[in-house]
A and B are shown apart, each in its own frame.
Chain A
Amino acid sequence: MLEPILGSLNRERILLFLLTNKEGYARQIARFFETDLSPIQRQLDRLEFGGVLYSRQAGRTRLFGLNPRYPFLGELQALLAKALVFYPQEERERLEIVRKRPRRRGKPE
């Protein structure tokens, strides 16, 4: 939907995921969209390098989020929120209810 202006479908996916989930890590985002890990990692790096995202280390996981110091954050969030309105309801709901509660290691996904 925003691919023509963002230049990449994975960028759109990452930004929408982080808009709705606040933070996320590469494998989680790749799994959610059932896509390859490396293009997601590449886009996360680019967005962080561009100041759009921040990252922080949580144990061995690098968590990403929308950078609150990005000067166009408000405008970007508004654009993403509008794009989300055009997503099918099912997809929107899926984005908004990503599991956040703990899950013991070894249990099936």
Chain B
Amino acid sequence: MKPIEDLSLGELAAFVCTHLRTNGIEVVLSGGGCVSIYTSNRYQSYDLDFIENLPTSRRRIKEVLLVIGFIEKDRIFAHPQSDFVLDFPAGPLAVGSEPVKETVDMKFSTGILTLLSPTDCVKDRLAAYYYWEDLQSLEQALMVVEAKEIDVDEIRRWSAVENKLTELECILDVLIKAAGGNRDSK
């Protein structure tokens, strides 16, 4: 395997995810890291947010990550040779008020990474836009829509569940236009 400092975000995420899985800790990559992967780093994140499928004690995560050189400081795990940091935000794995039903497994030279699907990744970014009015998150959502096949009807259904249909209507044209650039989107 390449040295840690030479690993891309995806390679490192897959390495960490596989190492945790080998030690009985199942995690899913969420947040900006997924955007980086789906947009081939058009958006570059340095945070890898992993959500545990089942709660694990912090002590156990610390022990397992220490084996591969990640040390916890201020609730964030860093490696002396990497610019990327690992975070384990509190679960459950959800987008808004709904649990994530399906995840995606992606193979890298360093292992297998489990991450949000492109559609759930868009929902995750839109949730930040809906609730915090964060335009950067909207921009990231649109980048994923342009790069990957997403299910616009599912985004609409989910937005209704979140009671954010009005907010969706305001950006729907931009979203559909972005999806239009990607012929695979429904």
Interface residues of A (CB under 8 A from B): 49-51, 68-69, 71-74
Contacts and interface: CB of A to CB of B under 8 A. Distances in A.
B131 A71 contact: no
Contacts of B131: 68-69
B99 interface: yes
Interface in B65-109: 75, 89-90, 92, 94, 96-99
Given A69-B131, A71-B92, A71-B96, 4 more contacts: A50-B90, A51-B89, A71-B99, A74-B97
Contact of B97 (A49, A51, A71): A71
B127 interface: yes
A45 to B, nearest CB: 10
4 nearest interchain CB pairs? A51-B90, A71-B94, A68-B131, A50-B90
Q: What size tier do the contact residues of chain B reach? A: 10 to 19
Contacts of A73: 97
Nearest to B127: A69
Contacts of B75: 49
Contacts of B89: 51
Interface in B6-31: none
Interface string B113-155: 0000000000000011001000000000000000000000000
A72 B96 CA distance: 9
A74 B94 CA distance: 14
A73 B90 CA distance: 14
A73 B96 CA distance: 10
A44 to B, nearest CB: 15
Nearest to B97: A71
Nearest to B130: A68
Contacts of A50: 90
Nearest to A51: B90
Contacts of A68: 131
A31 to B, nearest CB: 28
19 contacts: A49-B75, A49-B90, A50-B90, A51-B89, A51-B90, A68-B131, A69-B96, A69-B127, A69-B128, A69-B131, A71-B92, A71-B94, A71-B96, A71-B97, A71-B98, A71-B99, A72-B97, A73-B97, A74-B97
A74 B75 CA distance: 27
A50 B99 CA distance: 17
A17 B94 CA distance: 26
A71 B90 CA distance: 11
Nearest to A73: B97
